[in-house]
Amino acid sequence: MNLRFAAITVCGMLLTAAAVLWLFDRQISGAWFRLGLQPEIAAALERSLADQKELARLAPERREELRSRFGETQTLLNHLRILEHNREEILRRWELVLLAAVGGILAVAGGAHLVRQSRLDARIERLRMALVALSAGQEDLEIGDRGRDTLGRIAAMIEETSRAMARDRKRLAYLKNLSVWQETARRHAHEMRTPLTAARLELARLQQFLEEPQRLDEARQVAASVGEELERLGRFTQQFTSFARLPQPRLEVHDLGRVVEEFATTFAAAWPNLTLRLEPAGRPLPVALDREMLRQTLVNLCDNSSLALRAFEGRRGTVTLRLSEAGRNTVLDVADDGPGIPPEIRSRVFEPYVTTRKVGEGMGLGLAICKKILLDHGGDLEIRESTVKGTTFRLTFPHPQEEAA
Amino acid sequence: MRPRWLLLLFLSVRLDALQAPAVEAAREGVVLTRLPSILTDKEVRKHLETGLTTSFVFETRALGTGAPVKGGARVDIRYELWDEVYIVSRVDANGRAARTTFPSFGHLDQWWRDARLAVLRPPPPANARIEIRLRVIPFSQTEQLETQRWFSQALSGEVSGSAGAASGESESFGQFLNLLIATSIGRPALLEYEWNLTIPPGKKR
């Protein structure tokens, strides 16, 4: 509750109560009391007593009746005199009663306000928790606030929003899934159709050559070509197999610097348009890793850099392998000076079948496989930076003890 | 509201103005004689003529006799407006009650000056000190209760003892409030006096 607002409210209530109390006491109850005790009334009653006695003297036959009236008038006069005698005490008691009544009303009003405020706070807290759950992606929220006031309407809107979001999320997931499958089917169809078409044409030629024995050498060449196309189809299916049956890494603790250095030495001439440059950490970096899988990852990253540079005006470039420690993790940054990843696919490059290459030049599975390998190491693979001056991928490895834990 | 210090100042002034009664030890106890001439006081005289019962309450306490011995007496005077007579009722420390009627204020005043009022029994030893307090109460307890009842009915809006339109809990609460206010009607003293006197040696009468 806002304390300043509560203090202003309480002060306002007290001032209003004091004003009402004063007005009621002075202008209403006090005024009536003063009116009842006007000296003129007592004087009139005294004159009435004197008149009744005089009347009784003049009309003796009505003496008893007049005496009775005299007694009644005198009693009334006595009451007024006694009240006059207690005027101050009566007014004081009346003020106390008024004060107690106003105090009671204020206490009840304050209590009711506090109860209402605490209920409001509880409802607001429920709304806040619902919003937290909504932001966390929880679907079909049930807040259970059926109030007809603003908060109740807000609760209903949050519930409706969560239902709408759930519908949209399912629809989006379905469409995304459908899109992935469509892209997959398109790539598969192309990857399979190209060698199959080539093989069919070559087989037709082979049949023609077999009918002409003098062209046996050409027939052999065609048969070899068919074999190449089928080999290409085999490599394609092998990629699927490696993605689908990616084994778990066999982790052993190695010095990451040494492993990367060996890679840089071994693959120094593997990519004609690439120069591999090593920036060591200057101290051993023990990491639990699968050497073969790490090599596969680095090869894939360098392949991508090489292909990107080749597509970018066919120029040469450098891939820098930079080792360091970041917090409790060991980090390997793989940075090239290529054209960078297009922004429109930057957030999706680790998804399967996402690639900038034309159909037939790659399946878009490489980075997805690399990401999976690093995740299986308990680490991660992320894009640290990607601009028109180059891209840096960061491979993160946990500390060996933490990985063991 | 009348400040309390004004009342005290007023009382101290009145204390100086009123002659103390005489005290003597007698067979019936400590007796007050030559009662202070309070009846002729302008305010008391005026009040006596209103027809309300004015009570003169004497409270006594003997000091210097071990445990304080307390006593008292009361004189109620009511002016009967119709018959124009003063009706006096007195009760002394011995429990003796008497009722007398006086045809005029002169007779009443004379009776007052001659009155002997036993205020303490048994008599304390000679030369004991006695503390006497006189309170002039402007009306009797009966008149007070009747006025409280009448005032409560008037606040409730009842006419001739019949209930008003209100009923149920609101009526009960209203009656409670009215009773609360009506009970503020008390019997504060109109005047108060105090004397400290020494009891002279007793003389057998």
Sign of CA dihedral B158, B162, B168, B169: positive
Asked if A86's CB is within 8 angstroms of B1's CB, the reply is no
> For residue B20, what is the DSSP state?
P
Mean local confidence (pLDDT), A285-312: 91
Q: What is the DSSP string of A232-245?
A: HHHHHHHHHHHHHT
Candidates A75, A83, A97; nearest CB to B151: A83
Question: How far, in Å, CA of B133 to CA of B160, rounded?
Answer: 41
Query: Which has the minimum average pLDDT: A64-78, A114-128, B120-134?
Result: B120-134
Q: Which residues in chain A touch residue B183, judged by CB atoms under 8 angstroms apart? A: 93
Q: Which residues in chain A touch residue B138, judged by CB atoms under 8 angstroms apart?
A: 82, 85
Of the candidates B50, B138, B177, the beta carbon closest to that of A97 is on: B177
pLDDT in the model for residue A241? 76
Query: Does the predicted TM-score (pTM) go above 0.90?
Result: no
Lowest mean pLDDT among A20-24, A194-198, A256-260, B161-165: B161-165
Q: Which helix (H) or strand (E) holds A289?
A: strand A286-289
Residue B1: the pLDDT is 42
Tens digit of pLDDT for each residue in A101-124? 888 888 898 889 889 889 999 999
Share in percent of chain A as helix, strand, coil (round to 5): 70, 10, 20
First to last CA, chain B: 51
User: A260-279 burial, b for 16+ CB within 10 Å, e for fewer?
Assistant: beebbeebeeebeebebeee
Distance from CA of B1 to the nearest CA of A (A): 6
Q: How far apart are CA A375 and CA A382, in angstroms?
A: 11
The percentage of chain A sitting over the pLDDT mark of 70, rounded to a whole number, equals 97
| Top-confidence residue, A89 or B63 | A89
Residue B3 has pLDDT above 60, yes or no: no
- Prediction ipTM score: 0.81
> Among A86, A66, A88, which Cα is nearest to A78's?
A86
